[in-house]
Amino acid sequence: MTAEVVLYEVIDGVAVITLNRPERLNAWVPEMEKAYFDRLIKAGDDPNVGAIVVTGAGRGFCAGGDTGFMADLPGGEVPEDRELILPLTIPKMMVGAINGPCAGLGFLQALLCDVRFAAQEAKFTAAFSRLGLIAEVGTSWVLPRLIGTSRALDILLSGRMVMADEALDLGIVNKVYPAAELLDRSIGYAREVAQRCSPTSVATIRAQVYRDATRSLDEAYEDAMRMERISLKGPDFAEGIASYLEKRLPQFPPYGEGTDYS
């Protein structure tokens, strides 16, 4: 592949990561997987990045695993270096700007974003059952937690297509916009988070939500109480209160230099 399969730029504190195989509806291949995760890690480590927007080039978000690549996989062999749920470990808010078809592995990566905005032309499918496969790594965990067990089973078992308006009704996406507005709206939302929210708070809350999904209420409560006592004495809370009283944008410490919850 001669073209760069994943594009990266930073706009007003927002890292915009674009899957870039438009001639194949940004179908997933190993080169794209490595490049995408490398850029997520880069954004997560960059103190000048406060939030991330993920989108696709051309008229699609990601059509799933490239059928040419998948057909060449030896029987029963799955690459052992896959880390398809790596996005959950990134300490920045992730916004999915779903600009078109979103299927299979692409659907999984969209679900692993914290919020999803869709173009009116977007459509979603988890057609694993129609290919004789199981729910792709992580899909069976995140989708029921997002929309409920019965609705998730409808999508996963039938492999049917879900259009943008139904995806909004189901809770798969948070908003639907005209295609021409989608990226600007997504970047604007992410910019608000980058400018107004504590990087440490964002990272901590994101980790809390995913961690608490597998814990009891008592465990989640005790951990939250422990961290709340720390937060009230931390530099992020002090700056948050000061900026509110002084009616200015906050200047929170970068992630890694703020309140220590360890």
Each residue's pLDDT tens digit, 10-26: 999 999 999 999 999 99
DSSP state letter for 112: T
Q: Does 253 reside within a domain? A: no
Largest Cα–Cα separation, the chain: 63
> Is 88:111 a contact under the CB 8 Å cutoff?
no
Number of domains in the chain: 2
Q: Residues 162-182: what's their mean pLDDT?
A: 98
> Considering the domain boundaries, does residue 26 fall inside one?
yes
129 and 150 both lie in a single domain? yes
- Both 147 and 213 in one domain: the answer is no
| % residues pLDDT > 70 (the chain) | 93
Residue 262 lies in a domain: no
User: Measuring CA to CA, how many Å separate 71 from each of 30, 67, 151, 207?
Assistant: 14, 6, 30, 36
Whether residues 109 and 234 share a domain: the answer is no
159 assigned to some structural domain? yes
User: Does residue 77 carry a pLDDT above 90?
Assistant: no
Phi/psi at 34 (5° precision): -65, -45
Confirm whether 255 is domain-assigned. no
Has residue 82 been placed in a domain? yes
Same domain, 56 and 94: yes
| Domain shared by 226 and 167, yes or no | no
Please tell me the distance from the alpha carbon of residue 92 to that of residue 200, in angstroms, as a whole number. 9
* pLDDT, tens only, 217-249: 999 999 999 999 999 999 999 999 999 999 999
